């Protein structure tokens, strides 16, 4: 990712949500690779994964040179992702 393109996508009203979701998906990939499970799939404390994902998003932005956009993925968006995973796990059972 190029830092100027990332910053532009995250700051534009028309592309900010899509860019944040893309960033979140990259963070989920890293989380899954490191923990051998998807975030939100541990039954005891799914909310504990939110700060880890937030940290991974910040790390990805930093690696791309776009650390000034580190607040691009809101806690609400992260929480929604975790809630979606929890809901799909319940309906899959």
Residue, of 50 and 91, whose pLDDT is higher: 50
Sign of the alpha-carbon torsion through 14, 16, 21, 23: positive
Task: Give 5-16 pLDDT, tens digit per residue.
Answer: 777 787 777 888
pLDDT at 91 over 70: no
Residue, of 9 and 33, whose pLDDT is higher: 33
Highest mean pLDDT: which range of 18-22, 31-35, 42-46, 79-83: 31-35
Q: Is 40 helix (H, G, I), strand (E, B) or coil?
A: coil
Summarize the confidence of residues 64-82 as an average pLDDT: 72
Cβ partners under 8 Å of residue 13, min gap 6: none
């Amino acid at each position: 990712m190029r830092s100027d393109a990332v910053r532009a996508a995250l700051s534009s009203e028309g592309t900010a949500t899509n860019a944040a979701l893309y960033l979140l998906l990259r963070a989920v990939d890293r989380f899954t690779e490191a923990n051998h499970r998807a975030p939100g799939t541990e039954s005891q404390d799914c909310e504990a994964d939110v700060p880890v994902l937030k940290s991974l998003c910040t790390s990805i932005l930093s690696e791309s040179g776009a650390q000034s956009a580190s607040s691009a993925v809101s806690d609400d968006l992260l929480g929604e992702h975790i809630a979606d995973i929890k809901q799909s796990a319940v309906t899959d059972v």
